[in-house]
């Protein structure tokens, strides 16, 4: 083996669509995308394009002072849509704070994703509704949650036969990045998942930069190779290739559901934008580096594939752009119209069930609030 640290051999990276949009066959993974027809491909493109348009609008809203912060995802659309579309409704997803594309695939409405960034909610949606956990702001904190959840799933599904597991089994996906790969929680989660053979897929979007720290400082070997140390498979996939990501994630999820244990997927991608709106990547990385990745833009790749194979016409691409703009207008309107949270709501979040002391305090608070001449209904007071 003469693989260098930073450039693993081509065959080690699973790719089904080249950057030029050409379909490459793969002995092992073709079977995982046999059902993908033109309509589904157009759907993936639409998902990715809408996510990108949403990302632009949210960035603008932050620049206009309407969001405290925004976490852009440009460049990572294929990794997110491919993996998200591989999940089933009863799978459970633990995202970082950048998984807007995955959130879309889990039916979270775009404006809801802005609530936490607007500072009016600690979450933004009910995680139980779509089995999509809340965005986790603390780096890697979602990893033990995911492994713990997977261990719980094992207990719920104890005694199921293979057929039932395959059909109704739950798998868990833990999203993380190259930056959090250095956190202790990732190690602990992987050790536990391996020890208990838990149904969790560790999905790493290696976007090359942990804010300003380049990947080669984070790890001397491709992250996927670390899986060997824990005793489960690690696989590197071209994270800008939606088909490869879909195939590999499906493979990993099926394996997990069957009870064959965890998998580490390293989706090799690139953060084409800033780490957050509070960051300026021009201060620490060369624009040549950024330009080199422009050619590998995940949307461009799928667009070429669709056009070259006459799977979508100009009307389709125009419609996607129009729908994106309409969605962006709606996102803006809804975000600006979010009511401020009322203090009264906070009382409901203390105990799961009614508690006498809290009820008493809530009553006092409501009476106090009602004692003002200009009182309006809770939630509408600004």
Which residues are at the interface with other proteins (CB under 8 A)? 6-7, 53, 56-57, 60, 62-69, 118-119, 212, 274, 276-280, 282-284, 286-289, 291-292, 321-322, 324-326, 328-329, 332-334, 336-339, 366-367, 369-377, 379-380, 382
Rank residues 316 and 338 by Cβ distance to other proteins and give the closer one: 338
CA 50 remoteness from chain centre: 15
Rank residues 76 and 105 by Cβ distance to other proteins and give the closer one: 76
Task: Please give the Cα distance from 50 to 32 (Å, whole number).
Answer: 25
> Quick check: 306 and 312 in contact, CB under 8 A?
yes
Helix (H) or strand (E) holding 174: strand 172-177
Rank residues 39 and 377 by Cβ distance to other proteins and give the closer one: 377
Q: How far is the CB of 261 from other proteins (least distance, A)?
A: 36
Rank residues 1 and 368 by Cβ distance to other proteins and give the closer one: 368
How would you label 40-73 residue by residue, b for 16+ Cβ within 10 Å and e otherwise? ebbebbbbbbbbbbbbebbbebbeeebbeebbbb
Rank residues 214 and 233 by Cβ distance to other proteins and give the closer one: 214
Q: How far is the CB of 121 from other proteins (least distance, A)?
A: 13
Residues 6+ apart with CB under 8 A from 313: none
Task: Please give the Cα distance from 345 to 23 (Å, whole number).
Answer: 52
> Quick check: 218 and 182 in contact, CB under 8 A?
yes
> Quick check: 242 and 82 in contact, CB under 8 A?
yes
Q: How far is the CB of 337 from other proteins (least distance, A)?
A: 5
Rank residues 111 and 262 by Cβ distance to other proteins and give the closer one: 111
**What pairing do the DSSP bridges indicate for beta strands 172-177 and 200-206?**
parallel
Q: How far is the CB of 31 from other proteins (least distance, A)?
A: 35
Q: How far is the CB of 112 from other proteins (least distance, A)?
A: 16
Q: How far is the CB of 342 from other proteins (least distance, A)?
A: 10
Task: Please give the Cα distance from 111 to 210 (Å, whole number).
Answer: 27
Q: How far is the CB of 220 from other proteins (least distance, A)?
A: 14
Rank residues 352 and 373 by Cβ distance to other proteins and give the closer one: 373
> Quick check: 267 and 14 in contact, CB under 8 A?
no
Q: Which of 92, 146, 130, 136 is nearest to 116 (CA)?
A: 136
Q: How far is the CB of 366 from other proteins (least distance, A)?
A: 7
Rank residues 336 and 350 by Cβ distance to other proteins and give the closer one: 336
Task: Please give the Cα distance from 380 to 377 (Å, whole number).
Answer: 6
């Amino acid at each position: 083996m003469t693989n260098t640290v930073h450039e693993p051999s081509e065959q080690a990276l699973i790719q089904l669509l080249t950057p030029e949009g050409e379909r490459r066959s793969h002995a092992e993974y073709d079977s995982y995308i046999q059902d993908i027809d033109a309509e589904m491909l157009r759907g993936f493109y639409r998902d990715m394009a809408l996510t990108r348009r949403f990302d632009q609008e949210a960035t603008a809203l932050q620049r206009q002072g309407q969001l405290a912060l925004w976490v852009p995802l440009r460049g990572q659309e294929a990794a997110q849509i491919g993996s998200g579309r591989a999940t089933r409704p009863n799978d459970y997803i633990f995202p970082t704070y950048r998984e807007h594309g995955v959130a879309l695939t889990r039916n979270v409405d775009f404006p809801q994703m802005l609530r936490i960034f607007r500072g009016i909610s600690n979450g933004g949606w009910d995680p139980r509704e779509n089995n999509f956990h809340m965005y986790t702001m603390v780096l890697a904190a979602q990893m033990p949650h995911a492994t713990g959840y997977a261990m719980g799933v094992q207990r719920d599904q104890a005694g199921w036969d293979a057929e039932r597991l395959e059909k109704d089994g739950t798998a868990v996906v833990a999203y993380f990045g190259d930056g959090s790969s250095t956190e202790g929680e990732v190690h602990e989660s992987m050790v536990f998942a391996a020890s208990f053979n838990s149904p969790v897929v560790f999905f790493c979007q290696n976007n090359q930069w942990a804010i300003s720290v380049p990947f080669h400082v984070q790890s001397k070997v491709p992250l996927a190779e670390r899986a060997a140390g824990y005793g489960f498979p690690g696989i590197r996939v071209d994270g800008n290739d939606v088909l490869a990501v879909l195939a590999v994630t499906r493979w990993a999820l099926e394996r997990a559901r069957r009870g064959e244990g965890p998998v580490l997927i390293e989706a090799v991608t690139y953060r084409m934008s800033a780490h957050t709106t509070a960051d300026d990547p021009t201060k620490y990385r060369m624009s040549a580096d950024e330009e080199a990745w422009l050619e590998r833009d995940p949307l461009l790749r799928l667009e070429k594939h669709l056009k070259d194979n006459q799977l979508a016409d100009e009307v389709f691409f125009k419609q996607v752009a129009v729908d994106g703009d309409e969605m962006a207008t709606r996102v803006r309107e809804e975000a600006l119209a979010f009511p401020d949270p009322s203090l009264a709501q906070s009382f409901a979040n203390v105990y799961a069930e009614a508690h006498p002391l809290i009820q008493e305090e809530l009553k006092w608070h409501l009476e106090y609030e009602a004692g003002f001449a200009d009182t309006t209904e809770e939630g509408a007071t600004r």
